Chains A and B, each alone.
Chain A
Amino acid sequence: MRISAREISVCYNKKGRRITALDGVSFTPRAGELTLITGRSGSGKTTLINTLAGLLAPAEGQVCYDDTDIYRINDKQLSAFRCKNIGYIPQGASALADLTVMQNILLPSALAGTDKAAYAEQLVKTLGLEGLCRSYPDELSGGELRRLAAARALINSPSVIFADEPTNDLDSENARVMLELLKTQAENGAAVIAVTHDSTALAYADSLYSIDGGRLIGKENGYEAALCRPLVS
Chain B
Amino acid sequence: MKLKALAFLGLRRRPLRTAALVIIATVLSAAAFGGQILVRSLQRGLESLEQRLGADIIVLPEGAESKVDLQNLLLQGTPGYFYMDKSVMSGLSKINGVEKLSAQYFLVSANAECCTVQVQIIGFDEESDFTVKPWLKEAYSGALKENEIIVGAGLSTRVGHTLSLYGVECRAVGKLEKTGTGLDTAVYATNETVKGLIKASAKQGIAVLSKQSPEDVVSSVYIKAADSADIDELTAEINKELDGVQAVRTKSMMTGTAEKLKVFSKSVTALTASVWGLAAVIMLSSFYLYANERKKEFAVLRAIGFSRRQLGGLVLKQSLITSGAGGAAGVLLTALVILPFVRLIEQKAALPLLLPGWFSTLLYGAAAAVTVLLTGSLSAALSAYKLSRIDTGKILREGC
Q: Taking beta carbons and an 8 Å cutoff, which residues of A are in contact with B?
A: 12, 46-47, 50-51, 53, 55-56, 75-76, 78-84, 86, 88, 90-92, 94-99, 102-103, 106-112, 136, 152, 164
- List CB contacts (< 8 Å) of B107-131 with chain A: none
B199 within 8 A of A: no
Q: B81-89, B139-147, B232-240, B391-399: which lies at the A interface?
A: B391-399
How far is B6's CA from A152's CA once the two chains are assembled, in angstroms?
A: 16
Contact with A along B260-301 (1 / 0, CB 8 A): 000000000000000000000000000000000000110011
CA distance A80 to B307 in the complex (A): 8
**Distance between B369 CB and nearest chain A CB, rounded to angstroms:** 27
Q: Are A97 and B297 interface neighbours, CB within 8 A?
A: yes
Assess the A111–B304 pair: CB atoms within 8 A. Answer: yes
Given the complex, which residues of A lie within 8 Å of B13, measured CB to CB?
Answer: 97-98, 136
Q: Decide: A108 and B393 in contact? CB cutoff 8 A.
A: no
Alpha-carbon distance between A165 and B10 when the two chains are bound, in angstroms: 28
Q: In the complex, what residues of B have CB within 8 A of residue A97's CB?
A: 13, 297
Interface size class of chain B, counting residues whose CB lies under 8 Å from the partner chain? 20 to 34
State whether the Cβ of B343 lies closer than 8 Å to any Cβ in chain A. Answer: no
Q: B10 to chain A: which residues have CB within 8 Å?
A: 98
* Chain A residues within 8 Å of B310, by CB: 79, 111
Q: Is the CB of A76 within 8 A of B2?
A: no
Q: Give the docked Cα–Cα distance between A53 and B305 (Å).
A: 10
In the complex, A83 Cα to B301 Cα: how many Å?
10
Is A83 a contact partner of B396 (Cβ separation < 8 A)? Answer: no
Residues of A within 8 A of B396 (CB): 46, 50, 55, 90-91, 94, 164
* A56 / chain B contacts, CB cutoff of 8 Å: 391-394
- B2: which A residues are within 8 A, CB to CB? 110
> How many Å from the CB of B100 to the closest CB on chain A?
75
Name B residues whose Cβ lies closer than 8 Å to a Cβ of A. Answer: 1-3, 6, 9-10, 12-14, 296-297, 300-310, 391-394, 396-397, 399
A51 partner residues in chain B, CB cutoff 8 A: 393
B392→A107 contact, CB < 8 A: no
Query: Are B303 and A111 interface neighbours, CB within 8 A?
Result: no
Contact of B306 among A79, A84, A99 (CB under 8 A): A79
Closest 6 CB pairs of A and B: A83-B305, A56-B393, A50-B393, A79-B307, A106-B1, A98-B13
Could you name 11 residue pairs across A and B whose Cβ atoms are closer than 8 Å?
A47-B393, A80-B305, A83-B304, A86-B305, A95-B300, A98-B12, A99-B1, A99-B6, A103-B1, A107-B1, A108-B304
Per DSSP, are chain B's interface residues mostly helix, strand or loop, or mixed?
helix
Give the distance in Å from the alpha carbon of A16 to the alpha carbon of B188 in the complex. Answer: 85
Q: Are B1 and A102 in contact (CB under 8 A)?
A: yes
Contacts of B6 in A (CB 8 A): 99, 107
**B305 pairs with A111, CB closer than 8 A:** yes
Contact residues in B for A94 (Cβ distance below 8 Å): 296, 300, 303, 396
User: A86 vs B303: C-alpha distance in the bound complex, in angstroms?
Assistant: 9
Knowing A51-B393, A96-B297 are in contact, say whether A79-B302 is a contact too (CB < 8 A): yes
Indicate whether A111 sits within 8 Å of B393 (C-beta atoms), given known contacts A79-B307, A80-B307: no
Known: A91-B397, A98-B297, A103-B1. 5 other contacts (CB 8 A): A56-B392, A79-B305, A82-B304, A98-B10, A136-B13
Bound CA span A136–B10, Å: 12
Give CA–CA (A103, B301) in the complex, Å. Answer: 13
| Cβ–Cβ contact A88 & B306, under 8 A | no
Max chain B Cβ within 10 angstroms of own Cβ: one of A88, A91, A98, A103: A98
- A85 CB to nearest B CB, Å: 9
A84 to B13, CA, bound (A): 28
A108/B305 contact (C-beta < 8 A), A98-B14, A102-B1 known: yes
Question: Chain B residues near A78 (CB, 8 Å)?
Answer: 307
Query: A51–B397 Cα gap in the complex (Å)?
Result: 11
User: Which of B2, B14, B306, B307 has most chain A Cβ within 10 Å?
Assistant: B307
Which residue from A90, A98, A102 sits with its C-beta under 8 Å from B9? A98
Partner of B302, one of A55, A96, A99: A55
Contact assessment for A88 and B309 in the assembled complex, using a CB-CB cutoff below 8 Å: no
A50 and B397 form a contact (CB under 8 A): yes
Complex: how many Å from CA A78 to CA B307?
Answer: 8
Tell me, in angstroms, the Cα distance from A76 to B2 when the chains sit together: 20
> In chain A, what residue has the closest Cβ to B301?
A96
A83: chain B residues at CB < 8 Å are 304-306
Q: How far does the alpha carbon of A47 sit from the alpha carbon of B393 in the complex, in Å?
A: 7
For B10, B297, B304, B310, the residue with the greatest tally of chain A CB atoms inside 10 Å of its CB is B304
Residues of B within 8 A of A106 (CB): 1
* CB of B289 to closest CB in A, whole Å: 16
Contact B303 A82, beta carbon cutoff 8 Å: yes
* CB neighbours of A164 from chain B (8 A): 396
